């Protein structure tokens, strides 16, 4: 998905996303929901920025991401963690964690409820009994403004990246159209990406959690006004 922009991800998102505040909120939620929480698996970990901050907060954090480039970036940031390339709907690490995270609407990239259910099964496989799962959803149907155009600019170390974002919606499929202008010592170039994310209702997400063996609560605000699901293993279905 981020084939054209992985190396610039932190530059772009660091310009507007408050990772320290989010990581502090996540740490608080983990400790509230599992006071002895120590081990964390960050699924769709991206560049590993949440993992880095949670490690600084005292957690032992591993990660999984579909992008091999993101995995390498996350490894460099988090040398104590174990980071692997994998599909969030079909990965098997052979380890269990006190908590599993799937943040920043990454779950939307699965696009269908069948794949969401498969991902929740994988998450359950990697949770210790009594474990907690935090999932930050993408937007539900009928919310996205297809007339809106967003612009973000990041600058550091002689590199400037500007990104224009537009949105298209076709039924239950949303398309994020990213257009980049990248300027560095070699000059200026342009890149484009199209990201597809599925649109799921709250009822559909809650049912997917329950079908996978979780009890779940929904915080409609969450980390950045996209909501947050806080789920616990049904002990009778752990494993």
Contact 63, 85 (CB under 8 A): no
DSSP-derived secondary structure for 95-115: --EEEEEE-TTGGGGG-SHHH
- Token pair, residue 235, equals 């002990």
- Alpha-carbon distance 138 to 199, whole Å? 7
pLDDT over 80 (residue 238): no
Quote the pLDDT of residue 75: 98
State the pTM of this model.
0.96
3-class SS of residue 18 = coil
Q: Is residue 194 packed enough to be buried (19+ CB in 10 Å), middle (13-18) or exposed (0-12)? A: exposed
Alpha-carbon torsion 44, 50, 52, 54, what sign? negative
- Alpha-carbon distance 224 to 79, whole Å? 28
CATH of domain 16-140+200-237: 3.40.50.150
Of residues 60 and 3, more confidently modeled: 60
Q: Where along the chain do its domains lie?
A: 16-140+200-237, 149-198
pLDDT tens per residue, range 51-61: 999 999 999 99
Q: Rounded to 5 degrees, what angle do the CA atoms 164, 168, 171 make?
A: 160
pLDDT tens per residue, range 140-187: 999 999 999 999 999 999 999 999 999 999 999 999 999 999 999 999
Contact 43, 52 (CB under 8 A): no
Quote the pLDDT of residue 235: 58
Quote the pLDDT of residue 193: 97
pLDDT over 80 (residue 94): yes
According to DSSP, the residues that pair with 175 across neighbouring strands are 168, 196
Contact 29, 219 (CB under 8 A): no
What's the mean pLDDT in 23-31?
98
Fold match, 16-140+200-237 / 149-198? no
pLDDT over 60 (residue 237): no
- Alpha-carbon distance 9 to 1, whole Å? 12
pLDDT over 70 (residue 49): yes
- Alpha-carbon distance 162 to 5, whole Å? 11
Average pLDDT, the chain: 96
CATH of domain 149-198: 2.20.130.10
Q: Residue holding tokens 């950045």?
A: 224
- Alpha-carbon distance 71 to 74, whole Å? 5
Of residues 103 and 239, more confidently modeled: 103
């Amino acid at each position: 998905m981020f084939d054209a922009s992985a190396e610039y991800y932190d530059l772009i998102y660091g310009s507007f996303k408050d990772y320290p505040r989010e990581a502090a909120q996540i740490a608080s939620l983990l400790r509230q929901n599992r006071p002895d929480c120590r081990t964390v698996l960050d699924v769709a970990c991206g560049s590993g920025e949440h993992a880095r901050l949670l490690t600084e907060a005292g957690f032992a954090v591993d990660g999984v991401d579909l992008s091999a480039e993101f995995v390498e970036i996350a490894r460099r940031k988090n040398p104590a963690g174990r980071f692997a390339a994998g599909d969030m709907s079909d990965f098997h690490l052979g380890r269990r964690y006190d908590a599993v995270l799937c943040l920043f609407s990454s779950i939307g990239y699965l696009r269908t409820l069948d794949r969401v259910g498969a991902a929740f099964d994988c998450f359950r496989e990697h949770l210790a009994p009594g474990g907690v799962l935090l999932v930050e959803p993408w937007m539900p149907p009928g919310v996205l403004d297809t007339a809106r155009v967003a612009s973000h600019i990041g600058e550091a170390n002689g590199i400037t990246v500007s990104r224009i974002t537009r949105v298209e919606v076709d039924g239950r499929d949303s398309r994020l159209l990213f257009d980049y202008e990248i300027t560095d010592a070699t000059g200026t170039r342009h890149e484009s990406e199209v990201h597809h994310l599925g649109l799921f209702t709250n009822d559909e997400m809650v049912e997917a959690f329950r079908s996978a063996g979780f009890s779940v609560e929904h915080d409609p605000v969450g980390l950045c006004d996209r909501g947050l699901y806080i789920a616990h293993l049904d002990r009778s279905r752990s494993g």
